[in-house]
Amino acid sequence: WSGRPNVAYLINLCNPCPGPARPRKTLSPCSAHLVPVAAAAAAAAAMRFLSGASASRLPSPLLSHPRARTRCVPASFFACRAASSSAAGAGDGGSRKPWLFVGLGNPGKVYQGTRHNVGFEMIDVISEAEGISLSSMQFKAMVGKGKSRIGDAPVMLAKPQTFMNASGESVGQLVSYFKIPLNQVVVIYDDLDLPFAKLRLLPKGGHGGHNGMRSIMNHLKQSRDFPRLRIGIGRPPGKMDPANFVLRPFNKKEQEELDFALHRGLEAVRIMVLEGFNKSATYVNTAQSSEMLNR
């Protein structure tokens, strides 16, 4: 000890590589990592101590909107965790199979922003937040692949362009070609039977009358054994035909509420890849149960 602490040690201590993301309302302004505000303050205090500078107020962190297009979400979140995971678990031979996250919807501008397309919106949020570009067309789907390994496993994102009722034509081929285990094929779609903007994550199940899910099951040899993230869009008002209701756009208030749900969905995806399905399901479903009890 020389009377002056090691700068690199202090900075690394105050700004660790982030663990699995948890819901937070404050993010550091467009930094390379998700930095808790407390850690940022500690880092600033350490620098003031080292430089002898007088105490000053830390700039207020950005209050980020939950939508990927406006919030400061790092593209390197998974990459940072992947680096630490690789260092800790080197020697596994990189044998883990990829995760495939599929969002269901209908292609074309006329369907953008409608209830039936919330699966597409969820994929867009993941794509933008994690820097995975949907830059190729494969097996009738817009596909994006992680440039770096995410928690020791590659990640693929897909938006079938077959229209909703034929989604299985695309998903079945993707699963077969890339040899993806069904327990790592996560389908994200709208659900009339869930309250608006509520999420439910299940390891398996039926199609529940959803034509996109019915098509996928038909092309996976009637298997029910793949995870699904359901996003509630609520029931149609009065005697409105559900077929017309799912093609209605969201109003401003609904869109804001949906944005928060998509943010929770992003956190669920991160937890799933980094810590496994069970922890992600606990995060999603426990939160939803608590909200329902408090209504």
**Residue 32 pLDDT more than 50?**
no
Give me the pLDDT at residue 38, please: 47
Over pLDDT 90: what percentage of the chain?
A: 60
**Between 56 and 21, whose confidence is greater?**
21
pLDDT, mean of residues 131-139: 95
**The token pair that represents 55 in the structure block:** 């105490």
Residue 83 has pLDDT above 60, yes or no: no
3-state DSSP of the chain:
CCCCCCHHHHHHHHCCCCCCCCCCCEECCCCCCCCCHHHHHHHHHHHHHHHCCCCCCCCCCEECCCCCCCCCCCCCHHHHHHHHHHHHCCCCCCCCCCEEEEECCCCCHHHCCEHHHHHHHHHHHHHHHHCCCCCEEECCEEEEECCCCECCECEEEEEECCCHHHHHHHHHHHHHHHCCCHHHEEEEEEECCCCCCCEEEECCCCCCCCHHHHHHHHHCCCCCCCCEEEEECCCCCCCCCHHHHCCCECCHHHHHHHHHHHHHHHHHHHHHHHHCHHHHHHHHHHHHHHHHHCC
Percentage of residues in the chain having pLDDT higher than 70? 63
Determine the pLDDT at residue 61: 32
Question: Are 137 and 161 in contact, with CB atoms under 8 Å apart?
Answer: yes
Q: Which of 33, 116, 219, 263 is catalytic?
A: 116
Report pLDDT for 227: 98
- For 256-289, write each residue's pLDDT tens digit: 999 999 999 999 999 999 999 999 999 999 976 5
Is pLDDT of 36 > 90? no
How many Å apart are CA 163 and CA 147, to the nearest integer? 28
In the predicted model, what is the mean pLDDT of residues 70-78?
45
pLDDT(120) > 50: yes
When the pLDDT of each residue in the chain is averaged and rounded to a whole number, the result is 77
For residue 52, pLDDT over 90 is answered with no
Burial class of residue 25 (count of CB atoms within 10 Å of its CB; 0-12, 13-18, 19+): exposed
pLDDT tens for 162-196 read: 999 999 999 999 999 999 999 999 999 999 999 99
* Strands 136-138, 228-232: pairing kind: unpaired
Quick one: tokens of 255?
């869109």
Which pLDDT belongs to residue 117?
98
- Per-residue confidence (pLDDT) for residue 27, from 0 to 100: 43
pTM beyond 0.75: the answer is: no
Q: Report the candidate in 173, 176, 179, 187 with the shortest Cα–Cα distance to residue 101.
A: 187
pLDDT of residue 67: 44
pLDDT digits (tens, 9 = 90+) for 210-252: 999 999 999 999 999 999 999 999 999 999 999 999 999 999 9
Give me the domains of the chain, ranges plus CATH numbers.
7-63 (no CATH), 77-293 (3.40.50.1470)
66 pLDDT more than 80: no
Q: Is 116 a catalytic residue?
A: yes
Q: Which two tokens stand for residue 99?
A: 């995760």
Tell me the mean pLDDT in the region 24-51.
45
Pick the range with the lowest mean pLDDT from 44-58, 75-89, 153-167, 251-265: 44-58
